[in-house]
Structure 1
């Protein structure tokens, strides 16, 4: 999916071992790693995320929330962006959905998150329909509110 989204933007995606990253490459703008990986292995990416920060590279980590019970969470490792499935803590899937997920960023990236995420679903007749999948609650709060709250909620 990353390659599919990056291709029209002319962003080159390189898949490989994170220990072999060429930090001298000036076109390197971000890294995406996952723990546990496809083989179920847990990884501590603290050193990798520190190197990324030193080189001005944004670090993103996909994770399973249950993995944080055994290893320090990616946010504590230094990841700038953390995302993953939270389905195991939600209601069981019934007839395909809804699915629980999470997406978190460091404070400095908070304003770069889109205010609305539009998704594709099906209407009551089974035809494709465009819908608002995610929206920040902050959009409904007065600009100078004394206690603005930043919460994401699913609208389906």
Structure 2
């Protein structure tokens, strides 16, 4: 089965079929980054987080196309977070933030992992900054500059 067909299964929520197809294809193409990524994605869709990790890691090690890379980082980081490995989740999201500084979703996921690590201040700073930068709510927009400014140091006090 071609990668495009497996992708179609994933996009339609047919995770079991996608997993079987990806794993079968990996028997002949074990170093295909997309097949490893699709196997990981299908495992995630089936709540097989532990199994997904090795596929995500291998896909990232081999090298994914730029169009899939950010999503693979999100998938791996979220999977680590889901199984309670918050340090690995934060490490993954930090690496992803360096590679994709404009990807706001990565930053939101990073803030959740930081929260789980009890890095509450940094988690809040990231979350508040994202709200200030991306909200279309008129009441947020009215205070955008202040929100972003305050997000830089939540403990700052001005006399």
After TM superposition, the score normalised by the length of structure 1 is 0.31
Higher helix share: 2
After TM superposition, the score normalised by the length of structure 2 is 0.30
